[in-house]
Every structure is written in C-alpha cells, then in structure tokens.
Amino acid sequence: MKVAVIGRGFGANVMAPAYRGLGCEVEVVPSRDEAAIARACAGADLVSIHSPPFQHREHVLAALAAGRDVLCDKPFGRNGAEARELRDAAKAAGVLHFLNFEFRAQPAWAKAQQLVASGAIGALTHISWTSFGNGMRGRPHGWLYDTDLAGGWIGAYGSHAIDAVRFFFGREIAGCGGLARTEIAFRPDGDGQQVRSTAEDSFSCWLTIEGGGTASIDTSYAAAVNIPAATVLFGSEAAISIDSDTRLRILRPKGEPEALDLSAETRGMTFAAVPLWLEKVVAAIGARQQIAPNFDDGVAAADVMDKLKLAVSHPAAA
C-alpha cells in the first residue's frame, strides 16, 4: 500500500514510521506544497493528513479529487460546519474515510470500553478525566496558540477526550460548559518578539450525555509539571480506573481491586496507539470496509467543541 503523508511534524515523525512498520510505502510531503500534494495524492492508495486544522479542508478535498481513501487528523477542520462539509464530500466520493482518534486503540481504553459494554460496572453514570502536562511551556508562538487558525487545547486534546466520552458511553453529548484558561499569555515568534496567545492552553469542562450520564474534563498542557493522566469510569455497581493509559483497575464496593496491566500490549512503543490504530486502518482498506472512528466521529466531536467554545468563560490572561 502506498501512503501519502501530508505534514512534516506529527505526520513525518510519528505517522510515517508507523505506516512503514506495517510494510507501507510512504511519501511525506510538506503541507504548504500544493504541487507536491497533488502529485502524491495521485499516486497513493491512502492520503493521511496531519497538517494544521486550518489546512484540513484543502487537503481532504485534494485527496477526494484524486479519488483516494483518506485519514485525517483531529481536530477535524476548523469547526463543525467545515467538518460536515468534508464528511459529506467523502461519502459522495465513495471512498473510505478515517479520523485519527487513535486513542481508542490504546489497549486499556479498548478493554475499558468492552467492560462497560458488557455491564461489568452496571450502567455507566459519570466519567472523571484529568490530564496535566508541561509540553506547551517554552514553545514559540505558532498556529496552536492562535484562535483564528483553529488553535487551542480544546481542539488539540479536548477533541480526544470528547471522542473518548462518546466512545465509552456509546451515546452523543447533549450539553456542555466550563472554563478555559491561558497559562502562558505571551510567546516569542520567529523574530523573538513576544506575541499574545489568543487560544487556550488549559480548560475544565462538564458534559451531559443523551439518555443520562455526565463527564468532567480537567486538563492543561502548560502546567508547571507533568502529572500522569487519570480517567475513572463510574458505574451504578462499580468503577474502572485507567492510569497513564496502560493500567486498568476494576473497583467494587467490596473486595480488592482487580488490576490489569496492559502495558505489554503496547509493545514498548512510543505513541503506541498509533500503530495499533493503523493496523486496523490498513486491514479495513484491504477488506474495503468502513470502520470507526471516521469522519462521522470527527463531525460529532467538532459540533461539541463548537458548543464548548461558545459556552466556556475565559478569565483574562496575565
């Protein structure tokens, strides 16, 4: 299989090696080289798009114009309307489409979803999600910190968390609200000039689920220190705790927790969910089978993010 990877950041450094590890022939093209993108799309079986979200529309449409199956990174486009346009265009083109919500392939996540679906903790009632890191500290100004370019932590990470809530509940998100923060107010540009960030690098929010249920997400990528991510799925009879995306505990009212260490299933890989997800994508293309997460999931997450961005309050940055 020939894969055209658009994007020289995450695409070149993470996605391309994962495709090659699956035996794919890979060509990486820069996201601003329109001629190279057109040539690569024409010769590819799959176009894998990892450009910034403000370029997603251009690149998805280029892949569709060439009649190619397409995988797009999250957040899917700049907003729900654009995401819906691209989803509808992909369906009209009759190609397979995939959304890079790769965290669903984490073994601990997949196992937790299976346990919830089997009724192992009763009815899922609430998800508590916390994740704090310092990866945005010290970075120069760029699109990620610019609201007009679809930047912000709600899109960069919140999209994953929103998709996970939908994944675990198996239902859509009905309502939301919260608080967005900008911990690092100014960043240097390429000339060393300080530029104010207009997009959030931290947020806390609540979500309500159609048919009942709630979720809370508290996260930052501009914290002073890294704190391991922790996700707890509360059910009517028990709970599941996912620690650092690799360890899972089933907590019941009586008795010791049942602990499952799924780190071995990640095979010691960095960004372990990526190759695990791409294995499914490559198999689906071979079988000509549409699987999830796909552009429908991208639209659902984009619609929730639109609502959340309107609902959150923004304290003034220092």
Domains delineated in the chain: 2-95 (3.40.50.720), 103-269+293-311 (3.30.360.10)
Q: Say if CB 52 and CB 156 are below 8 A apart.
A: no
Q: What does residue 314 show for φ and ψ, rounded to 5 degrees?
A: -130, 95
pLDDT at 271: 81
Report how far residue 38's alpha carbon sits from residue 43's, in angstroms, rounded to the nearest whole number: 9
pLDDT at 268: 60
pLDDT at 164: 97
Closest CA to 154 of 74, 212, 36: 74
Residue 263 has pLDDT above 90, yes or no: no
For residue 58, give the 3-state DSSP assignment.
helix
Q: Which residue has the tokens 């114009």?
A: 65
Confidence of residue 252 (pLDDT cuts 50, 70, 90): very high
pLDDT at 83: 98
pLDDT at 266: 72
Residue 267 has pLDDT above 70, yes or no: no
pLDDT one-digit tens code per residue, 140-184? 999 999 999 999 999 999 999 999 999 999 999 999 999 999 999
pLDDT at 318: 47
Within 10 angstroms of residue 122's Cβ, the number of other Cβ atoms is 13
pLDDT at 194: 96
Q: Say if CB 22 and CB 278 are below 8 A apart.
A: yes
Q: Say if CB 202 and CB 312 are below 8 A apart.
A: no
pLDDT at 245: 75
Residue 124's alpha-carbon distances to 58, 171, 197, in angstroms, are 39, 11, 38
pLDDT one-digit tens code per residue, 18-77? 999 999 999 999 999 999 999 999 999 999 999 999 999 999 999 999 999 999 999 999
Closest CA to 234 of 131, 112, 118, 105: 112
Residue 196 has pLDDT above 50, yes or no: yes
Q: Which residue has the tokens 């009649």?
A: 67
- % of the chain surpassing 70 pLDDT: 98
- % of the chain surpassing 90 pLDDT: 91
Which H or E run contains 87? helix 80-93
Mean of all residue pLDDT scores within the chain: 95
Report how far residue 228's alpha carbon sits from residue 2's, in angstroms, rounded to the nearest whole number: 37
Q: What does residue 183 show for φ and ψ, rounded to 5 degrees?
A: -75, -40
**For residue 119, what are its two tokens?**
């009724």
Confidence of residue 270 (pLDDT cuts 50, 70, 90): low
Q: Say if CB 95 and CB 124 are below 8 A apart.
A: no
pLDDT at 243: 86
